[in-house]
Chains A and B, each alone.
Chain A
Amino acid sequence: DAGVIQSPRHEVTEMGQEVTLRCKPISGHNSLFWYRQTMMRGLELLIYFNNNVPIDDSGMPEDRFSAKMPNASFSTLKIQPSEPRDSAVYFCASSFQDRTETQYFGPGTRLLVL
């Protein structure tokens, strides 16, 4: 079975542009998590979904960030407008709803905002 798939793997954009990150969770997993990792702040949970429904978005930095999960096999994280401080690695992870201690991470999207 394929693992969590993320695209793009790398993204370089200019300040003010819209950025859309994509994630396909492992088939059968019903919990999906978006994380951001930086040297300064470590690994931060941005938002997570159970059965396609957002459960907790308290980690979303500000209104510039939004996430959707239209179906069980696809999620997006959008940043509009992007800022240089958004530069980070963004990970998507998935798990079974009753096994959230065991999360499977995608390879990440390395975002650089100039």
Chain B
Amino acid sequence: GQSLEQPSEVTAVEGAIVQINCTYQTSGFYGLSWYQQHDGGAPTFLSYNGLDGLEETGRFSSFLSRSDSYGYLLLQELQMKDSASYFCAFMDSNYQLIWGAGTKLIIKP
């Protein structure tokens, strides 16, 4: 079967760094995407890893290790506006996104 695991909630302090982990299980895999969703809003695309390694986009970075079936999203210099839910999703052999349950990031001042 196919599955994704990510923590349900993570708490961090403004200005700090936080890492949100994601592990997956699937027989067909093309890459790992990350999306952000603020309360009451729609998911918005953050990053995609089609290959192993680190992808950096401003304060956000995403990492993938296919051999470990593992990825993470790294958020640096946390701001209060980063408080949101973060979803990892992998693209399966049918080019469909299979979504995790989301991680709620709580940022404290």
User: Is B42 touching A108 in the complex (CB atoms < 8 A)?
Assistant: yes
Other-chain contact of A45, B44, B95, B97 (Cβ < 8 Å): B97
Given contacts A43-B87, A105-B42, A108-B42, contact A100 B95 (CB under 8 A): yes
Q: Which residues of B contact A48 (CB under 8 A)?
A: 96
User: Is A91 touching B91 in the complex (CB atoms < 8 A)?
Assistant: no
Q: Is A107 an interface residue (CB 8 A)?
A: yes
| Count of CB-CB pairs between chains A and B under 8 Å | 43
Q: Is A106 an interface residue (CB 8 A)?
A: yes
Given contacts A43-B87, A102-B48, contact A91 B42 (CB under 8 A): yes
Q: Which residues of A contact B97 (CB under 8 A)?
A: 45, 100-101, 103
Please report B residues at the A interface, Cβ cutoff 8 Å. 30-31, 33, 41-45, 48, 50, 87, 89, 91, 94-97, 99-102
Please report A residues at the B interface, Cβ cutoff 8 Å. 42-43, 45, 48, 56, 91, 93, 100-108
